Amino acid sequence: ISHTSLNAHVDGERFHCIKETFHDFDKRWNHTIQVYRHPMPELFYFVHKRTLFFGLNLVGGKMTDYEFYFNKFRYEFEVVKSMIDKYVVAGNAVNVVIFGHAFPKDIHHRSFFEPLRDYIDRKLKNKVPILYLNGDKHFYQSQKNYMGQSNFHRL
Q: How far apart are CA 135 and CA 112, in angstroms?
A: 17
Report yes or no: 100 and 132 within 8 Å, Cβ to Cβ.
yes
- Range from 36-40, 74-78, 136-140, 141-145 carrying the lowest mean pLDDT: 136-140
**pTM, whole model, 2 decimals?**
0.85
Mean local confidence (pLDDT), 129-150: 89
Higher per-residue confidence, 108 vs 94: 94
End-to-end CA separation in angstroms for the chain: 28
Provide the pLDDT for residue 13: 66
Q: How far apart are CA 46 and CA 3, in angstroms?
A: 20
Provide the pLDDT for residue 112: 94
pLDDT tops 60 at residue 7: no
pLDDT band (50, 70, 90) for residue 22: low
120-123 own/partner pairs: CB under 8 Å, 24+ apart: 120/149, 120/151, 120/152, 121/149
